[in-house]
Amino acid sequence: MQVAACGVCRTDLHVVDGELPNPKLPIVPGHEIVGRIDKVADGTDALSIGQRVGVPWLAQTCGQCRYCRNGSENLCDRPLFTGYTRDGGYATHVVADARYVFALPQDGDDIATAPLLCAGLIGWRSLQIAGDGQKIGLYGFGAAAHIIAQVACWQGREVFAFTRKGDDAAQAFARTLGARWSGSSEDAPPEPLDCAIIYAPVGSLVPLALRAVRKGGRVVCAGIHMTDIPSFPYDILWHEREIKSVANLTRQDGEEFFKIVPKARIRTETVSYPLTRANEALADLRNGRLRGAAVLVP
């Protein structure tokens, strides 16, 4: 297919930095791809030439392992991932397995849609895993949090946004998207949270989030990679608090999420870069210089 836009995800930084095991090398990164089909393999009837589609992180699963058989294909024993173990969307064209591609509305803004393919999808999965608590904390207010804050507000929840200390711009941005409170990650929220999702790859946020949630509250780690979690007193986990991680996505997550996008009127904040400036986009993401999500345009 022909790539129209490809989002830049924090996972791409982990791939580029060699922080994830066994990548395909050399690898073309990028797993938030929006484009149009320009060729289909014989026997593929689900997709047609010219169709607008999205290619996510989950590129292929085995369909046979215990996880695939029980509806948890996100945990497949023999998966392939776009832009990590299979070439991705920092390109003009990409080859994808038709069974793992999402059909998108034929008209739409390609750049605005790209971040939905991972920040949106993994964000959606992490929101479901966080449970249905009313007061939800989001740690790290980047691409995923800025989408999920909108979904959570649409669901009628109260969002508390935590950013790097002194990042007034991100804190103000969070409030424009409906957050009831925003502040620094070291701050205690004005009241105990029911659940929290950590999007920043920073292990020291785990004890901070545990301290912010109420008894029985849940802390979800939504990234693929995180720095070591420092030791912490058992006391802050006690009272049935939980820590859980989120891995990958299922195709069902995608089907659900893309139905919600128009209902919740999700709008994404993007900064676009020509494909030739991909390294600049990665550097801006690394240095926290972005508001919203970076998107590459070939």
The site for Zn ion (CB under 5 A) is made up of 9, 11, 61-62, 65, 68, 76, 118
Nearer to Zn ion, 39 or 286 (CB): 286
Question: Tokens 């989950």 sit at which residue?
Answer: 58
* CA nearest to 136, candidates 105, 158, 115, 109: 158
Q: Are 297 and 33 a contacting pair, CB within 8 Å?
A: no
Q: State the nearest-atom distance from the C-beta of 76 to Zn ion, in Å.
A: 3
Nearer to Zn ion, 11 or 163 (CB): 11
Counted residue by residue, the chain has a size of: 298
- CA–CA separation, 222 vs 209, rounded Å? 13
Q: 119-130 vs 143-154: helix axis angle to the nearest 10?
A: 50
Nearer to Zn ion, 61 or 270 (CB): 61
Q: State the nearest-atom distance from the C-beta of 55 to Zn ion, in Å.
A: 12
Q: State the nearest-atom distance from the C-beta of 95 to Zn ion, in Å.
A: 19
Q: Which two tokens stand for residue 286?
A: 């690394």
- CA–CA separation, 272 vs 114, rounded Å? 11
Nearer to Zn ion, 53 or 212 (CB): 53
Residue 195 CB-density burial (10 A; 0-12 exposed, 13-18 middle, 19+ buried): buried
Nearer to Zn ion, 65 or 275 (CB): 65
Residue 184 CB-density burial (10 A; 0-12 exposed, 13-18 middle, 19+ buried): middle
Q: State the nearest-atom distance from the C-beta of 68 to Zn ion, in Å.
A: 3
Q: State the nearest-atom distance from the C-beta of 67 to Zn ion, in Å.
A: 5
